[in-house]
């Protein structure tokens, strides 16, 4: 194991730490803007993990879609619809917190046990062509319908969002 | 080499799932719930990519699937934020507890008084 491998492993741990810290920040902070910040950190860590999984394409897509689109939309949502006076972003009551946190830790440990005990058989004829060219060819040929469906879904969602926002206020 | 082990990624994805569920349950604002749901979706995408890298016979299918998840997450965010803005304009709050328009009147529970007392809480309770 050379020096490069050690460095790569350290970077890998850093990305995992970024993901975990971002997730904890996203659900524990009481300020909504910090919540978006935590989510953005977690998404960045996941983008790094995607790079370690051999897909630079999805790493870029993660940064573009999650950090570039979703986080910006969330920030705008907070800036337009949020005023500190009107949102009581209090946590749950303390006795509920005493139950919720151990329950979540237990769930993680249970899932960890299940992951550890399962035997994951690798596919015998696993191809190892992770190149962008191969993915692009597959996207346009075999998975062309799926690719188009994402586009149509996004278009419909954006049109629907505009319609929902511009609907007239109920005069009461 | 943990970075070449499938289980590492699965455990990180499981952590994201659980912390997302925790956030959805714990949050008192719709935006916070939406962000937690995004964390769950991101964990699912990580799972797909891990299985794709280590187990799948064809490396493109997992990437396409993760791309679809990202598109659905983006669509969900657009719709969710627009709902939140519409709800905010209608009710002037994004606190889920106060949005009880459809809730049945429970005998013995003074819901309006409770909510007013909650909304009028001091600024120290907020943030």
**Torsion (CA) A69, A70, A76, A80 in degrees, nearest 10:** 140
**Residues A146, A88 share a domain:** no
What is the pLDDT, as a whole number, of residue B106?
A: 65
pLDDT grade, residue A50 (50/70/90)?
A: very high
Boundary (domain end) residue, out of A94, A121, A149: A94
pLDDT-derived band at A41 (thresholds 50, 70, 90) equals very high
Domains of chain B: 2-120 (1.10.287.3510)
In a domain, A170, yes or no: yes
Contact of B16 with chain A, judged by CB distance below 8 Å, is answered with yes
CB B59 within 8 A of CB A127: yes
Q: Are B22 and A23 in contact (CB under 8 A)?
A: no
**Position A79 in a domain:** yes
Domain count, chain A: 2
Question: In chain A, what is the greatest distance between 2 CA atoms, to the nearest angstrom?
Answer: 71
A11: in domain: yes
Q: SS3 helix, strand, coil % of chain B, rounded to 5? A: 75, 0, 25
What is residue B121's predicted lDDT score, i.e. its pLDDT?
A: 44
Low-confidence ranges of chain B (pLDDT < 70): 94, 105-127
**What is the CATH number for A47?**
1.20.120.1200
Domain shared by A1 and A77, yes or no: yes
Alpha helices in A53-172 (DSSP H): 56-61, 71-81, 94-117, 132-140, 144-165
The reply to whether A13 and A75 lie within a common domain is yes
Residue A1 binned pLDDT confidence (cut-offs 50, 70, 90): low
Can you give the pLDDT at residue A37? 92
Identify whether residues A17 and A90 lie together within a single domain: yes
A39: in domain: yes
A145 or B126, higher pLDDT: A145
Q: Are residues A12 and A82 in the same domain?
A: yes
B77 vs A contacts (CB less than 8 Å): 69-70, 73-74
Which residues of A, range 49-68, sit inside 8 Å of B by Cβ? 49-50, 52-55, 57-58, 61-62, 65-66
pLDDT in tens, A126-144: 566 667 787 888 888 888 8
pLDDT above 70: percentage of residues in chain A:
84
Residues A88 and A136 in one domain: no
Question: Does the pLDDT of residue A13 top 70, yes or no?
Answer: yes
Backbone angles phi, psi at A166, to 5 degrees: -90, 10
Cα gap B53→A7, rounded to integer Å: 22
Domain range for A165 is 132-172
Please report whether residue A101 resides in a domain.
no
Which of the listed residues A65, A94, A123 is the one where a domain comes to its end? Answer: A94
- Give chain B positions within 8 Å (CB) of A130: 53, 59
Q: A87 and A138: one domain?
A: no
A74 shares its domain with A154: no
* A14 belongs to a structural domain: yes
Question: pLDDT tens digits for A66-122?
Answer: 999 999 999 888 887 665 544 445 555 667 778 888 888 999 999 999 988 888 887
| Sign of torsion over alpha carbons A67, A69, A70, A72 | positive
The answer to whether residue A104 sits within a structural domain is no
Structure tokens at A98: 């005493």
Q: Do B94 and A8 touch (CB under 8 A)?
A: no
Average pLDDT, chain A: 84
Q: Which residue has the tokens 């939140």?
A: B84
């Amino acid at each position: 194991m050379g020096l490069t491998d050690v460095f790569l492993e350290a970077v890998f741990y850093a990305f995992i730490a970024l993901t975990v810290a971002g997730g904890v920040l996203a659900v524990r902070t009481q300020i909504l803007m910090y919540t978006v910040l935590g989510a953005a950190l977690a998404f960045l860590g996941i983008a790094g993990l995607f790079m370690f999984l051999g897909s630079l394409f999805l790493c870029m897509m993660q940064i573009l879609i999650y950090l570039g689109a979703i986080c910006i939309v969330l920030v705008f949502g907070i800036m337009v619809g949020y005023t500190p006076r009107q949102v009581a972003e209090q946590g749950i009551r303390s006795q509920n917190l005493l139950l919720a946190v151990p329950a979540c830790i237990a769930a993680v440990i249970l899932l960890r046990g299940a992951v550890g005990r399962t035997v994951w058989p690798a596919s015998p004829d696993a191809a190892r062509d992770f190149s962008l060219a191969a993915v692009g060819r597959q996207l346009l040929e075999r998975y062309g319908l799926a690719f188009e469906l994402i586009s149509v879904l996004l278009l419909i969602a954006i049109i629907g969002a505009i319609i929902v926002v511009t609907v007239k206020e109920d005069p009461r | 080499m943990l970075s070449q082990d499938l289980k590492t990624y699965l455990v990180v994805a499981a952590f994201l799932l659980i912390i997302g569920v925790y956030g959805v349950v714990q949050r008192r604002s719709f935006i916070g719930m939406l962000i937690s749901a995004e964390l769950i979706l991101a964990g699912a995408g990580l799972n797909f990519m891990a299985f794709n890298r280590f187990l799948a016979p064809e490396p493109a299918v997992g990437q396409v699937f993760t791309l679809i998840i990202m598109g659905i997450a983006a669509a969900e965010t657009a719709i969710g934020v627009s709902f939140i803005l519409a709800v905010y304009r209608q009710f002037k709050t994004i606190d889920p507890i106060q949005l009880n328009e459809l809730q049945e009147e429970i005998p013995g529970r003074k819901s309006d008084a409770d909510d007013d007392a909650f909304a009028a809480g001091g600024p120290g309770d907020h943030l």
